[in-house]
Each structure stands twice: as C-alpha cells, then as structure tokens.
Structure 1
Amino acid sequence: MKTCITKLNTISLKKERLIIGLMSGTSLDGLDIALCRLKNSGSATQAEIIDFETIPYSLSFKNEIKKICFKQQIDLEKLCLLNDEIGKLHGNLIKQFLISRNIDATTIDLIASHGQTVFHSPKRLRKADDYGNATLQIGDADQIATITGIITLADFRQKNIANGYEGAPLAIYGDYLLFNSNEENRVLLNIGGIANFTLLLKDQSFENVLSTDTGAGNTLMDQYVAQNFENLPYDKNAEIAFKGKADENLLNSLLNHPFFGASLPKTTGPELFNLAYLNQASQNSGSLGLSHHDILATLNRFTACGIASAVKKANCPNESVVYLSGGGAHNPLLTVNLKNLLPNLTFKNLSVLGINPDAKEALLFAILANETIAGNQSVFGKKSLSMGKISLPH
C-alpha cells in the first residue's frame, strides 16, 4: 500500500503524465482506448493523443450487456457478474492494446475508466419518489488495475452527483481546459448515443459555462437499424436515411416530451429514448405504416431538432463555430439537417483543433484523472477538481 501511495505522489509531481482514457458509451459497440500525454494541469493543461483504437465487443458479449442496460427491471445477479466481467475485459483489452504497440505497461502512469453506463436517472424525470439524481457505471476498476498493474481511476460521475448535479455531462471540464478561446465563440458538440454540447463564449469564466445533453444522438437510429436490418449495427453514412423522407407527424410526436421544454442544463439517456419511445410516438401520430427508410430519415431529423432546440435555448451567438465529435460527426445527413436548422452557425470537425473526434470522450476522462491527481488550481471555482475513485494494483 505505502509503495503505491508513494508512486501516486510521484506521478502527481511529474511535469507530464501518460494516461490511458477509456470510454464505452450507450451505443455498447466496444471500448475506446486513448493513450494520452498530459502536461501540467488546470489552465496550463496540454493534451496530446498519442494513439487511439476502438476495440469492438463481440456480438455475444454485447447481447449480454444489453440484458442489464437501461432497463428498470433486470437480473441482479447478472449485474454483479457483468460488473466483474467488464472490468476483466477492459483490463485485458488494455494489455492487448499495449502489447500490439510494444509499449511497456510500467511506462503508463494512470488509467482513467469511464465504465459502462447501465442506468442514468436524473430526478427531473422521476415523479413518484423522493430520491435524488442517480447514475450507475459498472466495470470493476480493481480488476483493471490488477490485470494491467496500472493505478486506475474510475466512477467519475458519482462526485458530480454528490455535489448536487446530475452526473452528466462531464465534458464541461475538459472542454473548458482544452478548447476555451479568446477569439471565437465555440460549441463543442458530441453526438454519441446521446448528444451533448458545451457552449464556450469568448473570455468566459468557468462558472458561466453551459454544458448539457440535448436528447437522442445515435441511440434511436442505431437501435432501429439493429432491430430491422440484419447484420447492420448502424446506418453507415446515412445510406438508409438518405433514401427516405422525414415524416412531420411522427417527428412532432417524437418531440412532444417534457424533456425538450425543460430548462438547461439537463441530462437524459436510452432509458427514455428507446424503441418503446419510438413505438409510442408512432401510435400517437398514426405513423405505424411508414417505411424503414422514412422512419430513419425522421429519427435523423429528430436528433438534429433536439440539438438545434437546445442550442437556440442556450442563446448561442450567431457566427459561433460548432466543432463536431462522436459517431454522429460521420453522419452526413445529420450534418445537413443541423446546418439547415442552425444556418447562422459554422460547422467544423473537431480534428481541425488537433483532436481526433472519435477519441475525444476517452481523452476527457484522462483529463479528469489528471486533474484529480495533479490539479492544484481553482480553475473550476473555489476548489480544485477531484473526481474518480482510485484502485491500486496491489
């Protein structure tokens, strides 16, 4: 124990650290592994992604995870077993990643693991109880630390919950450190399973930065494709949606939910935006006979409308620049829809800022770990940032 604590202190005093950031999102498609070099901390943070890979889950493993994710009633034993199994899998995938690149694990300072979200429950969306905000990510960090021999930080969202927030989106911290600009107003828009953005106005202090979920990102589109198109996990390049036409009745029914009228910031997840939500909207709008192509075109437009509505509600200044990341950044129809709905904004891929848009979320958790271990500045208000539980390898 003392040896590990001494090592942790040594890491905290280094001028730069090698940190592996891990992200497995609501799409359940695999594990993002980003090897990052972090220099300094706080407002002096410099970040570089040295290497990145998304390692897909096997279909059988993905199906096992789906049995416990985003459902109110599950097999509790299965949850316990998969908490352990996901930790083991992630640890072994990291070892595979390092071995394939001839990287000695002893050169890595930290692992920052987001874990697999299995349920997200903000209090706003619950009316029948007196409990507060809650979220749960699994993938035992002790398994990761033991298998890799690397100090691991995980369970980042619980500190945000403990401080009275909804546990998401946590992108606000890394977005502010890396992308705050004195020259332009920026919207850092990440479209994963759920879409979220951080609005960074020029010369803005952190206390006034807005970061919020907007609604469904890729989750409904991906779920619909997986259900109705054999062997297709998602609508690559919007090839299916481009052949359809958005149905206004279904679109209006999808948008008819209190979430879209709620004040910002707000959070959500596949617990709300799922195939049951789509089926109910289809029944309410009399749209049950639509073709698969038209439904996907409508779902694509639905994602864009949720984003555009939140951006407008945030009073985003005209001529701001939207930097796209996440899987949705590769969807050309979604980009077209966004540009049509937000004609006064400029859209760019995050890569123009030197960051791989697919690796951004994994990088952001590496930054959270860096701040927890090495941060000593009050960039984020009165206190330095401290998130994540620490698992020691021995």
Structure 2
Amino acid sequence: MANIEIYQHQVDPDQYPALLDAKAECLRQLFEDFQVPELEVYASAPKHFRLRAEFRLWHEGDRCFYAMSEPGDKSKKYEVLDFPIASELINRLMAELLKAITPNELLRRQLFQVEFLTTLSGDALITLIYHKKLDEEWQAEAEKLQQQLGFPIIGRSRKQKLVLERDYVTEVLNVDGEQYSYRQIEGGFTQPNGEMNQRMLSWARNASDEFTGDLLELYCGNGNFSVALANKYNKVLATEISKTSVYAAQENIRANNVDNLIIARLSSEEFVQALRGERQFTRLKDIDLSGYDFQTVLVDPPRAGLDDESVKQVQQYDNIIYISCNPNTLERNLAVLTETHDIKRFALFDQFPYTDHIETGVVLVRKNQA
C-alpha cells in the first residue's frame, strides 16, 4: 500500500485524568489575574463521546477506505479502521457502510467524503459527498443502502443535495430529570459531545436559579440553551443569524411545548442596533422589545468571542452567562466585563478530550448586587 499507514488514534483512558488536570491548570494560570472562584471541572467520558465525525474516502482500485491526512502534509494518508472517540453507533455504521458500498461501483465511484451525525438517543444520519452528478440510478441504489443500514442518507454533490428521507436527527437530552427533544439539522451546528452538553445545560439552569426577570440569548443556534432555560425565566428572547439554525430552533420550541420563547433571526450586532433604536428590522416587527425585562444575558459566541459593541451591550445586564470555546478571546472579553461585573462561577467543560480545546463557562453578576 503506497504511502498509506494504519491510523491509530491516541486514546488512552488511563491517561485522561492527567490530561484533564493539565487543561484545568492551564485555565487557572490564564485567569490567575482575575478574581475567579474555584474552578468547576466537568470530565467527559474517555471514549465514544463524539456524536459526529467526517472522513475522506480513499480509493485504490476497487477498494476504498476511510482516510485522514498527516497534519501539514496532505500527501501522507492514514487508513482509519476505527475511531474510538466517536460514538459506538458511528463506529458500527463506519464498518457497515464500507462493507455495503465497496462492491457497489455506482455508490462507490467518485465518493470522496462521508459524514456521520448521531445522537445519545440512538438516531443517525449519513451524508455521502461526491465528485459527480447524482441521478435517479444513484438514488435508487442509495435508497436500498438506506433500507439496509436502517438510517437516512443524504447525497451531496456540487449544487446538489438529495434528501432521501430527512435531513435531520432528533436528539433527546435528559437534564435535571426532564427530557428535551432537539431537531439537529445536517450541516447546522450542534454540540458534538452530547453527555457534556447535558452537563452544560444543567449548570446553566442551576446558575439561573439565582436570577429573575427575562433572559436574552445571543448566538442561540438551534435553541440548545434557550429551550432548556425557558422555564427558569418569565420570558426568553433569543437571536441567531443562521436560517438553518433558526428553523431548527422553531421546531424545537414546538416539540418541547415552550410558550415563553421567541427566536429572532438577527446577528448580535443587528440586535444591539435594534435595542438602541439605531435601525429597524422587519424581522422584529411583531416583537415589542420594550415589553421585556432583560436582567440576564447568555452568550455562546464563536471562537472570535464578542466584538467590542456586543461586550458593551452585554454589560447593560445584571447577570451574564458566558459559554466560551476559546479561552484567549474569553480573557479579552472578561478584561472589560469585570470592570462592571464580578465572576461568581467558573467552569471547565471538557467537550474535546485528548485535544487542547477548552470549553469554559462563566457566570458574572453586576458589582455591588446582592
């Protein structure tokens, strides 16, 4: 096999506690100049914690296999036989899919990427991505494959998306003794570590027990936090710019019978402009912003963190729940936020074991507030 080696993912559950301790110490050192409370550390399951994965498909004659590239050297390929950080369902479907498509030239030819999306509740979605136009003949074969695997399949190619059954999975999360149903759409953002997501939601709900009034959430995605937090507040208004995520959030509001939550399709910057009266948006025409008593804001921004204007806006609220996927931008934002607020809770959620990625939760309360 020319220039191909077997990929061995470095997963050693015995080493996980030490790796997590190192992350926690890194976080403590980064924020040692802030007056932070004791760090709450939430450990992940050491294996099978990741609910989504994507792989390149490499072809050698009539044989194909999952492959990964050498970091910084795409010419070096590794064959992936299993993927222990991914869910057990992903590992099962990896093998079953490969066995099914290898003898099927129509399904195999010019297939270059496979994506798996699974849930804690046992649902799954498989996306096959091609360098060719997908026709009726392909669809007929893909429908047979879908029936064989028992989960829906999507075919993608340039300017094509063929949905054979559905383009989403339904997740059911158990949080504080309650079940929450979430539609997670293919291509949309979802928390990859489902067990850790449940812990994050429980943590945010527990923090909310101390707060009153209404909640504003920026960057709400598919409503992951706002749906689970809705019964902790009088009313909730959440904003999200992605049409796909807003659609999923609306479905999740209905599925969970939430009657005090509204999603507005706006960016955080646009919402700040609307609150200040600087711009009017038709997407807000049926929402009376003056009727809200926003005392708490929840933000879960992208890696770039909050922009300067959003930081200033967030400072207007008594309570801030900040979920961060980048400690460096969090540090920058907290340098400003702590001018007006005190840090009351500080947590590490290990979404991505065996990596340098650190997910952080911070609760801030306005200074001199009882």
Structure index of larger Rg: 2
Q: TM-score, normalised by structure 2?
A: 0.29
Q: TM-score, normalised by structure 1?
A: 0.27
Structure holding more strand per residue:
2
Structure holding more helix per residue:
1
